[in-house]
Amino acid sequence: MRDREYNPTDIERKWYDFWMDEHYFHADENDDVKPPYAIVIPPPNVTGVLHMGHALNNTLQDIMIRYKRMDGFNALWMPGTDHAGIATQNVVEKALAAKGTSRHDLGREAFIDEVWRWREKHGDLIINQLKRLGASCDWERIRFTMDEGLSNAVRKVFVTLYQEGLIFRSDYIVNWCPRCHSAISDLEVEHEEESGFLWHIRYPFAEGEGEIVVATTRPETMLGDTCIAVNPTDERYTSVVGKEVILPILNRKIPIIADPVVDKEFGTGAVKITPAHDLNDYELGLRHGLDVIVIMDESGIMNENAGPYQGMDRFACRTKMEEDLQEQGYLIDKTPYTVPVGKCYRCKTVIEPYLSKQWFVNTKPLAEEAIRAVKEGRTRIVPKQWEKTYYEWMYNIRDWCISRQIWWGHRIPAWYCEGCGEVIVSEEDPASCPHCESGTLRQETDVLDTWFSSGLWPFSTMGWPEQTRTLEKFYPTNVLITGFDILFFWVARMMMMGLKFMNEVPFHDVYLHALVRDEQGQKMSKSKGNIVDPIIEMDKYGADAFRFALTAFAAMGRDVRISDKRIQGYRFFINKIWNAGKFVLANIEGFDPRSVSPAEADFSLADAWILTELNKTVEAVRTALEEYRFNDAADRLYQFTWHQFCDWYIELSKPLLNTGAAPVTRWVLWHVLKSVLELLHPVIPFVTEEIWQHLPGREGKSIVTAAYPKVDADLDFPEKAREMGYIIDIITGVRSIRGETNIPPSTQLDVVLRMKSKEIEAAVDIYGFFVRDLARVRSIGFIPEGAPRPKRCALAVTAEAEVYVPLEGVIDIDKEKERLSKQMGKMEKELEGKRKKLSNPGFLQKANPEVVAEQRQIKEELEFKLERLLKARELLEG
RNA sequence: GGGCGGGUAGCUCAGUUGGGAGAGCGUCGGCCUUACAAGCCGAAGGUCACAGGUUCAAUCCCUGUUCCGCCUACCA
């Protein structure tokens, strides 16, 4: 503790190891004394690396868990990772490609083994990064979504929902990613607007002259057209409904039909219908019993139904078709048009609406429960504005496509009987078909959406479907802390699954924090090169500074804008704490805090003031944490630590330490430092532990298990604190005069005070050494109220005092006059407002009497100050 | 198309029951005052986007306008 600056690296490692060795983060499910408090971690991808979003998310969780742990709760933070089906498969496939092989070369089983090996090798990375951040997870309980226990939970849930008819298999238009070769859910599609074209194409009548013109943004899909649709009320077309047209190029005959969904205003009012490649078209096709023609394969390559275009990529096909249509005279017009394009959120490939057989969850009935739980307040969404978003989505929820055509994930527990075609869905692998007893069963090759298993996370991690002690004790959890971007993906699904299988909400509170962006508010991305890497930041400034920066910027419902520079700023704060610690420790060496009894101690005004301010801070910080106002908590702690404790109290303690009051002062220094460290510990765990360990009279082996400070009514002295405030005002007044009139600090000043009241004069007199020390004053004189003012003085007026600083030979009189005039100008403006307000009968009549009194007091104070300043200026004239 | 959030000091942002506009950084001036120059002391800087309304009183509540973000959507 002698170092001039705080060096985080070694200290962080040392204490984290210590905490782990002591098992402080382990929650005991058999502890029936402490009330439980539980959080489940949003599981990061097992192949992932820590990014700023993780850092923010886990810092906030760690703050809550550490706070509650200190505050006497049996605190469980359940950690784990997610198998991240598509993402992980992509990563491993890339690695295979680098080795010149592929998953198809390996085959399914060998590939899955390969992924597990990958996970063995790289899966600890993000866990270790979380530890580096200081996350106090109960690592003894770490889970992985592909673990045996969690896989059992997945099977049980799948089978149950299937048996209840809530999971079904069906042909449907899904979002198909031609690169991932898989269906993805609606949520996994990113919508963007792109500039494209609207093509107008003629379809000639099969019989007789004439034609119908349609408008389309995707001409290549006409290869799969099975009709033209018009609105039944559209008079332009009533005569042609029922007729047939010739599909250009392929020369198939297709009918013209009428359907009310067609918008008369759009394009020509006639639309081509491609049921296999558009959701609307598919549904329309069902209504009219239309043929369905799939025109491309799983990679987006045109198939045998595409005639001359077979083998072409879908976009190449579009270009070629346009040429052909043009050449053959079918293309009438091509105009620029903004088209909505869906892209795969994993690989940004343009999604193809694609007809295929998939597994779905009928989410409507589950959503109803999830809506009710929030309506009834069983789960509270914070900040509240997200409730509306949640309801909006839940009310309009659509069937959830849960099957994925990849290999890495929970394989769907369904088997098809080769004998009779029966579908068997079962928790145990069946040996034979229960229907026809055939032994040739083929398991479904699809795996489940990763979010299917994540949806079970709050209870599957606690051992479900077993009825464990852990579940009993810690479910429902207290709060889920996560980014708003996965409100639908994850939170909503946990709500549905938790209510369905546990009959209880998974968490009482959901705190949704904002996303981390760069300084300019841009999303961080590799391509933009604006990534701030948490590990690099921690290397440079330490985990504590990094955590404090994140917390201080985590205002509710706002983006968290962060940059290297801002994190750097908070390192100064950590260093300030370090130095305050050094000062206090140096001054309480050999001191036993038990030698002072706070109940009998004779506290100085400064002691009383800092203790009272400490109480206010404790209260404010606790409230802020309870309400998830993390930035408020950080701000209060910053202000108190730096600007009250360090700037004022430590300075005030210096003169006291040379007097008979030294023992009490030492006790206060010790007590306030200890409290500050404990208050700050959830936010900055490392530096607080390091200093705390050097404190005498600490209870317990670690700050991790120390009691979180409470408001102490016995150490609350509002009266004395107020008096101290007057002294602080005087010191500030003298300093201000010195600063503004450029009197060097080396010049000792003589100060004359004229106090409003005798009592305060007495207090100031007793504690005059504070003023002498902190304002560099040689002598303090008092003159009574009514006595003539000293001449040729600079003046500062506070609420209770006039502070005269003689400036004979020290200062430019004109400058001082100017200074006073400026101050007066400001005050006059303010006073004008007050006078107006107080002469308004409406205000006096209707406003709260307390407010009126307050306003009157402010007015009088202003008048007092102004009058004194005026007199002072007059004296300078003469 | 629907929804949400935002426009406050040069920059980034606080401002929770409507009642004298705040912080950090930056800027300017002065300081090695025995924990800290990664520091200390002082100072400057704002018609709280715009226009109405409610109220004794509006940065705060309501309406409209405008600009910027985000989410959502089956308008070919």
8 Å CB contact between A167 and A496: no
For residue A305, which of A317, A291, A318, A295 has the smallest C-alpha distance?
A295
The distance (Å) linking the CA of A4 with the C1' of B38 is: 10
Question: Rounded to two decimals, what is the model's pTM?
Answer: 0.93
The distance (Å) linking the CA of A630 with the C1' of B3 is: 27
The distance (Å) linking the CA of A265 with the C1' of B64 is: 30
Q: CA-CA distance, A516 to A54, in Å (whole number)?
A: 9
Which nucleotide is nearest to A733 if distance is taken from CA to C1'? Answer: B42
Would you state the pLDDT for residue A2? 72
8 Å CB contact between A47 and A84: yes
Q: For residue A494, which amino acid is it?
A: M
Quick one: which residue's CA is nearest to B72's C1'? A393
Which nucleotide is nearest to A196 if distance is taken from CA to C1'? Answer: B76
List b or e across A127-151, with b for residues whose CB sees 16 or more CB atoms inside 10 angstroms: bebbbbbbbbbbbebbbbbbbebbb
Would you state the pLDDT for residue A63? 96
Quick one: which residue's CA is nearest to B57's C1'? A843
3-state secondary structure of A88: helix
The distance (Å) linking the CA of A732 with the C1' of B60 is: 32
- What's the rounded mean pLDDT across residues A253-277? 89
Would you state the pLDDT for residue A520? 65
Q: Is residue A470 pLDDT above 90, yes or no?
A: yes
List b or e across A593-604, with b for residues whose CB sees 16 or more CB atoms inside 10 angstroms: beebebeebebb
Q: Could you tell me which residue, A481 or A87, shows the higher pLDDT?
A: A481
Q: Is residue A208 pLDDT above 90, yes or no?
A: no
Average pLDDT score, chain A: 90
A754 - beta bridge partners?
Answer: A802
- What's the rounded mean pLDDT across residues A612-622? 94
Of the listed ranges A143-157, A372-386, A806-820, the one predicted with least confidence: A806-820
- What's the rounded mean pLDDT across residues A453-460? 96
For residue A755, which of A765, A745, A744 has the smallest C-alpha distance?
A765
Ranges of H-type helices in A627-749: 630-638, 651-656, 662-680, 685-692, 718-740
Q: What is the pLDDT of residues A726-737, one digit of tens each?
A: 999 999 999 998
Would you state the pLDDT for residue A811? 65
The DSSP symbol for A777 reads E
Long-range contacts of range A563-569, CB-CB < 8 Å, 24 or more positions apart? A563/A518, A563/A519, A563/A532, A564/A532, A564/A537, A564/A540, A565/A519, A566/A519, A567/A532, A567/A537, A567/A540, A567/A541, A568/A540, A568/A541
Would you state the pLDDT for residue A785? 81
8 Å CB contact between A831 and A866: yes
- Return all residues near A226 (Cβ < 8 A) that are at least 6 apart: A254, A273, A274, A275, A285, A290, A291, A292, A293
The burial of A663, by beta-carbon neighbours within 10 Å (0-12 exposed, 13-18 middle, 19 or more buried), is given as middle
Looking at chain A, the number of H-run helices and the number of E-run strands are 29, 29
Which nucleotide is nearest to A852 if distance is taken from CA to C1'? Answer: B19
Element (H, E) at A410: none
Cis peptide before A219 (omega within 30 of 0): no
pLDDT band at A122 (very low <50, low <70, confident <90, very high): confident
The distance (Å) linking the CA of A342 with the C1' of B75 is: 15
Which nucleotide is nearest to A646 if distance is taken from CA to C1'? Answer: B35
List b or e across A239-258, with b for residues whose CB sees 16 or more CB atoms inside 10 angstroms: ebbebbbbbbbbebebbbbb
Q: CA-CA distance, A44 to A572, in Å (whole number)?
A: 31
Cα dist from A403 to A359, A620, A649, whole Å? 5, 49, 64
Which nucleotide is nearest to A568 if distance is taken from CA to C1'? Answer: B38
Q: Is residue A544 pLDDT above 80, yes or no?
A: yes
CB atoms within 10 A of CB A851: 11
Q: Output phi, psi for A686, to 5 deg.
A: -80, -55
Q: CA-CA distance, A722 to A728, in Å (whole number)?
A: 10
Q: Could you tell me which residue, A829 or A75, shows the higher pLDDT?
A: A75
Cis peptide before A383 (omega within 30 of 0): yes
Q: CA-CA distance, A372 to A510, in Å (whole number)?
A: 15
The distance (Å) linking the CA of A653 with the C1' of B34 is: 14
Ranges of H-type helices in A71-147: 85-98, 103-106, 108-122, 124-133
Residue reference for tokens 């029936």: A32
Q: What is the pLDDT of residues A364-414, one digit of tens each?
A: 999 999 999 999 999 999 888 888 889 988 988 889 999 999 999 999 999
The distance (Å) linking the CA of A745 with the C1' of B29 is: 13
Element (H, E) at A848: none
Quick one: which residue's CA is nearest to B74's C1'? A280
Which nucleotide is nearest to A572 if distance is taken from CA to C1'? Answer: B38
The distance (Å) linking the CA of A624 with the C1' of B40 is: 31
Q: Is residue A556 pLDDT above 70, yes or no?
A: no
Which nucleotide is nearest to A584 if distance is taken from CA to C1'? Answer: B35
8 Å CB contact between A682 and A62: yes
Would you state the pLDDT for residue A547? 95
Residue reference for tokens 């404090």: A548
Can you read off the two tokens belonging to residue A855? Answer: 């306003």
Element (H, E) at A715: none
Can you read off the two tokens belonging to residue A409? Answer: 């994930």
Residue reference for tokens 């989505």: A393
ipTM of this model?
A: 0.94
Quick one: which residue's CA is nearest to B15's C1'? A632
Cα dist from A619 to A429, A607, A637, A650, A715, whole Å? 58, 18, 11, 22, 13
CA angle A225, A226, A231 (to 5 degrees): 95
Q: CA-CA distance, A162 to A170, in Å (whole number)?
A: 13
The distance (Å) linking the CA of A7 with the C1' of B36 is: 14
Which nucleotide is nearest to A273 if distance is taken from CA to C1'? Answer: B76
The distance (Å) linking the CA of A792 with the C1' of B57 is: 42
Would you state the pLDDT for residue A828? 86
For residue A145, which of A167, A166, A115 has the smallest C-alpha distance?
A115
The distance (Å) linking the CA of A643 with the C1' of B40 is: 12
Would you state the pLDDT for residue A339? 85
Which nucleotide is nearest to A563 if distance is taken from CA to C1'? Answer: B12
Protein CB footprint (7 Å) on chain B nucleotides? 3-6, 12-16, 19-20, 23-25, 29-44, 55-57, 69-76
For residue A561, which of A528, A521, A534 has the smallest C-alpha distance?
A521
Q: CA-CA distance, A3 to A24, in Å (whole number)?
A: 29
Q: CA-CA distance, A607 to A653, in Å (whole number)?
A: 8
- Return all residues near A876 (Cβ < 8 A) that are at least 6 apart: A792, A813, A816, A817, A820
Would you state the pLDDT for residue A43? 95
How crowded is the C-beta side of A82, counted as CA atoms within 13 Å? 23
pLDDT band at A725 (very low <50, low <70, confident <90, very high): very high
Q: What is the pLDDT of residues A677-699, one digit of tens each?
A: 999 999 999 999 999 999 999 98
Q: Is residue A518 pLDDT above 80, yes or no?
A: no
For residue A412, which of A442, A447, A382 has the smallest C-alpha distance?
A447
3-state secondary structure of A263: coil
